[in-house]
Chains A and B, each alone.
Chain A
Amino acid sequence: NAGVTQTPKFQVLKTGQSMTLQCAQDMNHNSMYWYRQDPGMGLRLIYYSASEGTTDKGEVPNGYNVSRLNKREFSLRLESAAPSQTSVYFCASSEVPLRQPTEAFFGQGTRLTVV
Chain B
Amino acid sequence: AQKVTQAQTEISVVEKEDVTLDCVYETRDTTYYLFWYKQPPSGELVFLIRRNSFDEQNEISGRYSWNFQKSTSSFNFTITASQVVDSAVYFCALSEGSGGSQGNLIFGKGTKLSVKP
Contacts and interface: CB of A to CB of B under 8 A. Distances in A.
A99 B108 contact: no
B109 A40 contact: yes
Interface residues of B, number: 26
A68 B35 CA distance: 26
A48 B45 CA distance: 18
Interface string B79-117: 000000000000100011110111111011110000000
A103 B47 contact: yes
B104 A43 contact: no
B50 A103 contact: yes
B45 A90 contact: yes
A99 B95 contact: yes
B50 A58 contact: no
A100 B97 contact: yes
Please classify how large the interface on chain A is, using the bins under 10, 10 to 19, 20 to 34, 35 or more: 20 to 34
Nearest to A111: B43
B102 A109 contact: no
Contacts of A98: 33, 95, 102-105
Interface string A61-98: 00000000000000000000000000010101000011
A33 B43 contact: no
Given A99-B100, A103-B35, A108 B44 contact: yes
B102 A104 contact: no
B49 to A, nearest CB: 9
Contacts of A48: 101-104
A88 B43 contact: yes
Interface string A41-62: 1111100111000001011000
Interface in A6-57: 31, 33, 35, 40-45, 48-50, 56
Contacts of A108: 43-44
Which of B46, B96, B108, B109 has most A Cβ within 10 Å?
B109
Nearest to B91: A42
B29 to A, nearest CB: 9
The 8 closest A-B CB pairs, nearest first, are: A48-B103, A42-B107, A97-B102, A106-B45, A98-B95, A50-B102, A43-B107, A42-B109
